[in-house]
Amino acid sequence: MLTNYFKIAFRNLVRHKVFSAINIVGLAIGIAACLLILQYVDFELSYDNFHAKGDRIYRVKQDRYDKGKLSTQWAGGAQAAGNSFKANFPEVEDYVKVLKRRALIADYGEKSLKVEKVFIASQSFFKIFSYPLLAGDPNTVLTEPNTIVLSESVAKRLFGKEQPLGKTIRLNQQKAVKVAGVYRDMPANTHLHADLLIPHVTFIKEVGPDNNPDNAWMWDGALAYLLLRPDASPKALEAKFVPYIEKTIGAELKKYDAGAVYTLQPLKDIHLYSHLMEEAEPNGDGNTVYLLLAIAFFIVVIAWVNYINLATARAINRAREVGIRKAVGSQRGQLIRQFLIESVLLNGLAVVLALGFVVAVMPLFNSLSGQHLTLSLLGNWTFWLALSTLFVIGTFFSGLYPAFVLSGFRPVTVLKGKMVTSRQGIILRKSLVIFQFAASLFLLVGTLAVFRQISFMQEQSLGINIDQTLVINPPIIRTDSTFMRQMVAFKEELLRQPTIRHVAASSVVPGQASDWNAGGIRLKGADESKGSQYRVIAVDYDFLKTFDLKLLAGRDFSKEYGLEKKAVIFNKMAIKQLGFNNPAEAIGKEIDFWGQPFTIVGVTDNFHQQSLRDAFEPLILRLIPDAGGYFSIKMASSELKTTIATVQSEWNRFFPGNPFEYFFLDEHFNAQYQADQRFGQVFGLFTGLAILVACLGLFGLASFTTAQRTKEIGIRKVLGASVPEIVQMLYKEFAILILIACVVATPLAWLAVSQWLNTYAFRADLQWWLFVLPFVLVLAIALLTVSFQSVKAALMNPVTSLRSE
C-alpha cells in the first residue's frame, strides 16, 4: 500500500510539472534560507558555551554615575574589583583579572614577529576558563614575573618545530622573558582572543608597590571575572556589593558627587548583549540575531503557504479522483495518508535541492554576513536536527490542511460535476496571499530603512575633515629619551614633501573611542562635588589644523606660547557641561584636572569622534606632543603611491624596528558601519528571497486561476471585451490583495523601524516614500509575475476558450 501511495504521488508530481516545480523550488529556497540563518544564529548563540564552568562564570560590569546620571558603562572596571570581591564574599570561589595591552614585537634569534592581541592575566586564568594548555601547568603557568604564555600559532611562527617551553624571547627589543606555557588557539566563538598572555604579577612589579592596582578603586580598565560557588545566587551577591562599595569608596565618590554600581554579567551573555567601554573586542548583537531568526521563519512559512495555496486551489481538479476512490471503497484516512505522502515526497525533493543551494551560496553568505561557516556543518548534528525538524514540520503542516480538504469531498456531489470552490477555501487562500505579501512588504521596508540610515550616517558632515588622511599606527618600540626628537624630525622631513600638507600626532583618531576617561574635572576653586567626567584626547600642536576643526572661541595650541603643558581645548559639549552656554565665556578659565590647574585656551564646535550611532561627548583636547600615538598625514590627491613609499622610507629611518602599518582615515571611520552594512546586506538578501518565493506561489496561483476562468474569458471576448479589459480584470484581484497586505504591513513596519532607529543618536527621518516605494515595487513585481498567464489567456481564441473543460 505504501509503495502504491508513493507511485501515485510521483505520477501526480510528473503530470503537473509546473505546479510541482513551483512548489519544490519555493520550498527549497525557503528551507535553504532558513538553514543558513539557523547556522548563523547557532554560531552566535554558541559563544563561550565550551567552558566547563561557564554557568558559574560572571564578569563584573561597572556603571559610573555623575551627579546621579549614568555617565559611563564599563566592561573593564576598577582594578581592585576582582581580588576585593574574592577576599570579602564567600560566594566567590575564584577570580581572574584580564587587561588589554597594545601590540608588541617579539624577537627570537633572527625571527621577529608582531603580536597583535596581548593581554595581562592573573594566575587563575586557565583554572577558570577552559582554554586548553598544550604545555605548562595551569596552576603555575601565570605565577612567575618576566614570563609569558603563547598561543599555539604564535609559538609555531616564532619557534617552528623547536620546543618553546623555557625558551627566552625579547619583547619590543628591550625586555627578556621566558616562555612558561603554550595554549591551543582560542576558538572563534569566544569573546576573548589572545595571542600572548603576560602574568599579572609582572604588571604589579612594573607599576611598583606604591601603585598596586589590587588596591585601586578609581583606576579603571580591568576585566574582572568571578567564579561563583555552585550554590551562590548572583542577584544576592550583587545586593552585597552596594554596602561594600559604600563602605570602601563611598566617601571618595561623594566628594565628586559620583557613584559606582557593580553588577554581574553571565559569561554567555557577553557576546550578544554587551557593548561597553573597554570590551575585549567588538561583540555581536542579540537583536540582530533574533531578527534574522524571525526572517528565516517568515521565508519558510511563505514557502509552506505556497504549497497550501496551490494544493487547495487545485482541489476542484482532483475532486473527481477523490470521488472515484471513495466510490470504490477508499476510507478518508487512506486518502489523508495518500495526500500526506505527496507532501512527504515534495518536501523531500525540496530538502535535497535546498542542500544543493546551501552548498552553492555558502561563500556568498559568508562574505555578506562576515561569518566563516564551512561545509563542515554537514557533519554537525545540530544542522541535521534543524533540517529534520524543518522537513517534519513542513511536511505535516503544509500537507495536513490540503489532505483534509481533498479527502472531505462527497463522492455523489463531485461525480455529478456539482463541485464548486468553497467560500471558506477562497477566503483562506486570499488570507494566505495577504500574509505572504505583508511579510514581504515588512521586510522590504526594513531593508530600505537600514540602507537609508547607513547612507545618512556616511553622508553627514562630521565636523572634522578626514579626507585624504593617511594614518600610521603608533610606534611599538620607542626610546623615551629620544622619542620627542625623533617625532619632531620625522614630521619636519615629511612636511618637506610637496604632496604632504599637515602631519599631526594624537592618542586616538576619529573613528575610535577615547580610552582616557577623566572624572572629577571642575572649575578651579569649585567644590569637588561639581566635578564631572570628560573624554580626553592627547594631541600635538598640529591636530586642529590637520583635521580642520572649527574654533568657536579662543585659539589653537601654539609654540609661540611655549610648551603649553597646562593648556587645554574643550569642545562645545564640554564647556556646556562645565556650566557655560557661550563658548567665549570659557576662554581663560582655569580648571582643576586631577589636582593640577589647566587653562582653557580654545573651544571647538562639536565633532563626531565616533559614528553617528553615538551622541556628542564632552571632549578635552590636551597638549601632549610626545604621547606616542597615531600619526595622521594630510596628503594631496596626486602621486599617492609615491607619497606612501616616501613616508615608509622616512618611518623606517626614524623608527627602526617598528612595522610600517597604515590605513586611510575615511575607510577606517566608515568601518564602524560595517556591522550595519552586513546586516543590511543579509536583510536585503533574504528579503529578496522572501519576495521571490511569494511570487513563485503567486505565479502558480495566477496560472490556476486563469485556467479556471478560461471559459469566462472566452464569453467576455465574444461579448466585446478587449484584451486590456480582460487583463485588467485578472490583475484587479491580485492588486486588491497586495493593497490589503500593504495596509496590514505599514503600521507594523513603521513601529519596528522607529524602534530600530531609536538606537541611533543621529538618525534619518521616516518619510512617506519609505512605505510607498516598497508597495509600488511589490505590486509591479506581482503584476509582472501574473502577466504571462493573464496576457496569454486574454489573447486566446474565444473558440478555444469556450471548448475548455
User: How does pLDDT run across 310-365, given as a tens digit for each residue?
Assistant: 776 665 556 566 666 666 666 666 667 777 777 788 888 888 898 889 888 888 88
Cell 564578569 found at: 59
Task: Please check whether residue 219 is in contact with residue 519, taking contact to mean a CB–CB distance below 8 angstroms.
Answer: no
Q: Exposure pattern of 610-644 as b/e (b: 16+ CB <10 Å)?
A: bbbbeebbbbbbbbbbbbbbbbbbbbeeeeeeebb
List 622's β-bridge partners, or say none.
538, 568
Question: Residue 419: pLDDT band by 50, 70, 90 thresholds?
Answer: very low
Q: Residue 715: which pLDDT band, with cuts at 50, 70 and 90?
A: confident
Name the percent of the chain lying above pLDDT 90. Answer: 48
Burial call 9-48: b when 16+ CB within 10 Å, e when fewer: beebbeebeebbebbbbbbbbbbbbbbbbbbbbbbbbbbb
- Mean pLDDT over all residues of the chain? 86
pLDDT tops 80 at residue 566: yes
Mean pLDDT of 223-243: 96
Residue 439 CA to residue 520 CA, distance in Å, equals: 52
The three-class DSSP label of residue 503 is: strand
How high is the pLDDT of residue 40? 86
Residue 805 and residue 796: Cα distance in Å, rounded?
15
DSSP H or E run through 11: helix 2-15
- pLDDT of 508 reads 95
Q: Which residues of 707-731 are buried (b: 16+ CB within 10 A; e: fewer)?
A: eebbeebbebbeeebeeeebbebbb
Amino acid at 182: V
- Among 273-282, 339-348, 683-692, the minimum mean pLDDT is found in 339-348
Summarize the confidence of residues 623-646 as an average pLDDT: 88
Burial class (CB in 10 A: 0-12, 13-18, 19+), 466: buried
More confident of the two residues 66 and 105:
105
User: Could you tell me which residues are beta bridge partners of residue 522?
Assistant: 592
pTM: 0.86
Confidence of residue 100 (pLDDT cuts 50, 70, 90): very high
Strands of 473-594, DSSP E: 500-506, 517-523, 532-539, 551-554, 567-571, 590-593
Give residue 570's pLDDT.
98
Among candidate residues 550, 625, 560, the one with its CA nearest the CA of residue 583 = 550
Average confidence (pLDDT) over 160-178: 93
pLDDT on residue 289: 87
pLDDT tens-digit readout, 725-766: 777 777 787 888 889 999 999 999 999 999 989 989 999 998
Q: Residues 57-82: what's their mean pLDDT?
A: 91
Please tell me the predicted confidence (pLDDT) of residue 314: 62
CA dihedral 799, 801, 803, 805 (to 10 degrees): 180
